Amino acid sequence: MAEQKAKAAVLAAVKGMNDILPPSVPRTDRLPDSALWQWFETTVRSVLGRYGYQYLLTPIVEPTALFVRGLGEVTDIVEKEMYSFVDSMNGDKLTLRPEATAGIVRAMIEHNALYNGPLRIWTLGPMFRHERPQKGRYRQFHQLDVEALGFAGPDVDAEMILMARALWRELGLVEGRHVRLELNSLGQPEERRAHREALVRYFEQHADALDADSKRRLHSNPLRILDSKNEAMQALIEAAPKLMDFLGADSLAHFDAVRAMLDAVGLEYRVNPRLVRGMDYYNLTVFEWVTDQLGSQGTVCGGGRYDGLIEQLGGKPAPAVGFGLGIERLLLLIQELGLPVPGAAPHAYAVVPPGTPLPQVVAALEALRAAGVSVLQHAGGKDGPGSMKSQFKRADASGARYALVFGETELAQGMVAVKPLRGEGEQVLRPLAAPTGWAAELLRA
């Protein structure tokens, strides 16, 4: 008996890893449905295509050493959040990717991808971090990652930021109101070392005010103390030495050039000297697009320049810049703001009375679909397609703009009735023999 109950137990998804369901499936949470995802992905492909970025895919599982070397040993991701395991076949240490950049750089090195010159690329897919699930932050999350490899100039830094702005606009987000840009420069390694020494001296003088995490990082990664969210330390952090005061002429010129290009297109931003990002590999320009609509999880998109990472991971020295965007968080923001989102409804719903010859129906629908019309065909069970009343109810619920009624009288005339389900309009008859001739009518908004 107990064995039967065990077999009948319902298995649930791992905590913090969510199903993305069709809009027709009811759910009690606020997670975005698959129609919203598809719209986002289509928009991304359109926007990035205009800027000449190419699509690629990398594995979900990578060598653990890739992230230790790429992200830095003393980072929250490496220390606390990675899903790592030992391969039972050969003993290799492997990790589910917690972010995309390191894997992309590994792929570029492995395939000598920069041999013929710089590359603009992007990818999209699941990432994994073992952290406490909360609104807009999950253990399996999805990220859009965009990289420009082999470009050293500030123009590509500005391009990254403006490309993100173009994406916001396509999605209905308004910069300055829904999302805001914050900008900083981390300079070059030698400038950061001088700043680091000043930080260590400063925080050593105030060691009693540091929390446990900050004390642990004081000598290993003091820059990360500046990113602490501990309210009790904010005044201390605000008074800490500013990296901008340690930047040399070249770093300042690069930053000023980025700002000049953003100013030229009227993009407002705030220079935030405490913006350091979460990975060790950044240098020069760093940026974040933030919002105040999602509580404490304010960062929607972030990135910057990482000129040393390719060499750090074993490749020939080459500059690079990129950004990452958490898709769940962005879609949640769109939902929170109630922005208009194109629906996933079909253009038409085929109503098929009982006894209708299905070959004629299927032939007409296939011709319409070939012409770009999305049609949902009412499919019957073993007892037939159901009453006309129930079919029209389903047609209305589908969100379709038109019902295609394959009635006996219409079929005898070689016609199908096109009945508007939304707004005004008269029912009309259209020839079954030439559906491509009137397909455009169904595509009109």
In whole angstroms, give the CA distance from residue 20 to residue 8.
Answer: 24
The 10s digit of each residue's pLDDT in 212-244 is 889 888 888 887 788 788 888 999 998 999 888
Residue with tokens 């020839």: 431
Q: What is the mean pLDDT of residues 348-374?
A: 90
Looking at 3.30.930.10, 3.40.50.300, 3.40.640.10, 3.40.190.10, the CATH number of the domain 34-187+247-337 comes to 3.30.930.10
Q: What is the pLDDT of residue 4?
A: 56
Q: What is the mean pLDDT of residues 385-409?
A: 88
Q: What is the pLDDT of residue 43?
A: 95
In whole angstroms, give the CA distance from residue 376 to residue 391.
Answer: 11
Measure Cα distances from 319 to 15, 114, 429 in Å. Answer: 39, 11, 63
The 10s digit of each residue's pLDDT in 24-56 is 888 777 788 888 999 999 999 999 999 999 999
Say which residue, 226 or 385, is predicted with more confidence.
226
DSSP states of 83-131 as a string? Answer: EEEE-TTT--EEEE-S-SHHHHHHHHHHTTTTTTS-EEEEEEEEEE--S
Specify whether the CB–CB gap between 18 and 140 falls below 8 A. Answer: yes
Q: Would the pLDDT of 2 be above 60? A: no
Q: Would the pLDDT of 296 be above 80? A: no
Measure Cα distances from 434 to 63, 162, 417, 429 in Å. Answer: 58, 47, 14, 12
| H or E, element range at 302 | strand 299-305
Q: Which region, left, alpha or beta, applies to residue 340 given φ > 0 means left and ψ of -120 to 50 means alpha?
A: beta
In whole angstroms, give the CA distance from residue 61 to residue 336.
Answer: 33
Domain chopping of the chain, boundaries: 34-187+247-337, 348-443
Q: Would the pLDDT of 280 be above 80? A: no
- Least Cα distance to 241 among 188, 283, 275, 200 occurs for 200
The 10s digit of each residue's pLDDT in 102-160 is 999 999 999 999 999 999 999 999 999 988 887 778 899 999 999 999 999 999 999 99
CA terminus-to-terminus distance, the chain: 58
Of 79-83, 236-240, 415-419, give the lowest mean pLDDT range. 79-83
**Which residue type sits at 244?**
M
Name the class of domain 348-443: alpha beta
Q: What is the pLDDT of residue 6?
A: 55
Q: What is the pLDDT of residue 135?
A: 75
Say which residue, 133 or 443, is predicted with more confidence.
443
Q: What value does the mean pLDDT of the chain take?
A: 89
- Least Cα distance to 437 among 368, 375, 349 occurs for 368
Greatest pairwise CA separation for the chain in angstroms: 92
Of 147-161, 186-200, 249-263, give the lowest mean pLDDT range. 186-200
Helix, coil or strand: residue 201: helix
Specify whether the CB–CB gap between 282 and 224 falls below 8 A. Answer: no
pLDDT category at 445 given cuts 50, 70, 90 is low
Q: Which region, left, alpha or beta, applies to residue 352 given φ > 0 means left and ψ of -120 to 50 means alpha?
A: beta
- Least Cα distance to 161 among 249, 265, 247, 252 occurs for 265
Q: Would the pLDDT of 7 be above 80? A: no
Q: What is the pLDDT of residue 47?
A: 96
